[in-house]
Structure 1
Amino acid sequence: MTDPWFALRRFTQARIALGRAGHAVPTQALLDFQLAHARARDAVHFPWNVERFAEDLRAMRLESLILRTPIRSRGEYLRRPDRGRMLDTESRRRLDDLNGGDPDVALIVTNGLSSTAVERHGLSLLKTVVTCYRSRRIRFGPIALVENGRVALSDEIGFALGARVAVIIVGERPGLSAADSLGIYLTYAPRPGNTDAQRNCISNIRPPEGLSYETAAAKLIYLTEEAMRRRISGVGLKDEQDTVLPPSPEPPELER
């Protein structure tokens, strides 16, 4: 009799119907597991080249601002999540001296728990998001690039810039089937002390296996506009779109 689990394997990346060799899994399944585990560890410990990322943004004619947390190593980042939720003194001073112009959105990128995700998908996702924001005339300031940041860091940056909404793109915690997933967190009226209940999340952005850049950007545009219109985010704001915007064949040239 055919095991129905084998038919289900094509619908999921979860490790089901692996088979067995005696009392253990087959060698190939074991090797696949070890490879996935190694990729997840690499994603966590791999450093993010934030300077090169900023150069790539300049090539796209996008202004960026490199900020830092007090974290100085990936080991410290893992041991002290609280220090990843704040800027260091110099970065705070730079933000205080910056005339942000009270943008609608403070856009932030951090490698979070997966530098692999930001390196692989960050630029393409940003390009799509920026194109959509400009098409809806949503103003954003310089894109803040922060190595070793946590989601709550968006409150401090958004508040300092006087933004109505803070949006942070972050490398998500890698799993054994996805080491390169990006997440987007949106918070209306960002300020220190906000809780996760006041945020909306769009996760698993990693085409082709996960959400496409276009789908993620469409959801973000909807949530951004609804957050500004209704002055809420988090548990009070739901994604009630009837449809998802189709992907554009070719994004227009980005200009400031």
Structure 2
Amino acid sequence: MSDVAPIPEGSDFLRRVHERTPARILTGRAGGSYKTSTWLELRADHAAARDAVRDELDLERDFDRAFLDRWELFEVATLAATKDEYLLRPDLGRSLRPEAREAIVARRPRGADLQIVLGDGLSAAALIAQAPSLLPTLAEATARIGLNLGAPFFVRRCRVGVMNDVGELLNPAVVVLLIGERPGLATAESLSAYLAYRPRPGDDDSRRNLISNIHARGVPTEQAAARIVHLARRMIGEQTSGVGVKETWTPSLPSA
């Protein structure tokens, strides 16, 4: 029998712990098992994670008309023809369809300082939740330092490697891919921002930088936008990305 006294439910210590992390720690137990409430929350979060991976994003349904019009948002797709194929063949999600390449070249100018790409990745829910607030904040942060922002487009069944095709087609200084992360049991709405300096076919992850965990209980959108723009400016100045550029600056959060 343990000599450690149990922590009383509702204690200030437990409240402070649970405010700092969504992890299931110090949740209490019923005999040797989870309490019923903890088990039900776990099952619900697991279902949300599975749904996030399987769900498809619909631009007209999931974003309002003002958002679509402001960014002149349009959709292209990778070589993965179905969600099942996308999950089983990651390589197909790294390459754009021929008609997608034509649409991007026709509708987006070459040579932007930052070219934004939206990708569903492994969580359409993350893009739906974060993009409407992150994109305007990112545009404002980019304008403040005098960089040109390439209007985004959406890539369905997208993997990170699709950045290489975008770099080849549009030749921006930096490609910024905002893509849904693999969902966990803490949140299914976590977005990643991948950045690469003048990506080209054949580039791998060593040429990319990542800002992850962009969501309500992770990295706030204002901080994410500031970090993205700061890192992109460094890449342009140093003409490199990936292992050659380490993120050493984090903007402070406003006081509560």
- TM-score calculated relative to the size of structure 1: 0.87
**Paired residue type of 1:200:** N
Q: Distance in 2 between matches of 1:54 and 1:88?
A: 27
Q: Secondary structure at the match of 1:41?
A: helix
Tell me how far 1:19 sits from its aligned partner. 2.3
2:28 corresponds to 1:19? yes
**Aligned partner of 2:249 among 232, 241, 253:** 241
Q: CA deviation at 1:243?
A: 4.0
User: Equivalent residue for 2:237?
Assistant: 229
Please report how far the alpha carbon of residue 38 of structure 1 lies from its aligned counterpart in structure 2 after TM superposition.
0.5
Cα distance in 2 between the residues matched to 1:204 and 1:152: 19
In the TM superposition, residue 55 of structure 1 has moved relative to its aligned partner by: 4.2
Q: Which amino acid aligns with 1:25?
A: Y
What is the rounded CA distance, in whole Å, between the counterparts of 2:91 and 2:232 in structure 1? 27
User: Aligned equivalents of 1:126 and 1:13: distance in 2?
Assistant: 26
- The answer on 1:110 being equivalent to 2:124 is no
The corresponding residue for 2:208 is: 199
SS of the residue aligned with 1:64? coil
Per the alignment, residue 68 of structure 1 pairs with 77
Identical residues among aligned pairs (%): 36
For residues 44-69 of structure 1, what are the alpha-carbon distances to aligned partners after superposition, in whole Å with 9 as ceiling and x for unaligned? 1111013454844343x223342111
Segments of 4+ in structure 1 off by > 3 A? 1-10, 51-59, 95-99, 242-247
Q: Which runs of 5+ in 2 are unaligned?
A: none
1:35 aligns with 2:44: yes
- What residue in structure 2 maps to residue 162 of structure 1? 171
**Equivalent residue for 1:212, pick from 211, 215, 220:** 220
Deviation at 1:97, TM superposition (A): 4.5
1:134 equivalent in alignment to 2:136 = no
Deviations 1:65-98 (A, max 9, x none): 4211122322221111111101011112233445
| Number of aligned positions between the proteins | 245
Give the letter aligned to residue 219 of structure 2: L
Distance in 2 between residues matched to 1:164 and 1:245, nearest whole Å: 28
Stretches of structure 1 that go unaligned for 5 or more consecutive residues are 248-256
For the Cα contact (< 8 Å) 1:165–1:187, is it kept in 2? Answer: yes
| Amino acid across the alignment from 1:89 | P
Structure-1 residue corresponding to 2:67:
57
Give secondary structure in 2 for the equivalent of 1:143: coil
Q: Secondary structure at the match of 2:23?
A: coil
> For the structure 1 residues 36 and 99, does the alpha-carbon distance in structure 2 shift closer, same or farther, using more than 3 Å as the test?
closer
Whether the aligned pair in 2 keeps the contact of 1:165 and 1:188 (CA below 8 Å) is yes
Question: Structure 2 CA distance, aligned partners of 1:162 and 1:109?
Answer: 17
Is the Cα–Cα contact under 8 Å of residues 174 and 181 in structure 1 kept in the other structure?
yes
Corresponding residue number in structure 2 for 1:143? 152
Partner of 1:251 in structure 2? none
CA contact (8 A) 1:40 1:175 kept: yes
Of 191, 194, 199, 1:182 maps to 191
AA aligned to 1:214 is: E
Letter in 2 for 1:26: K
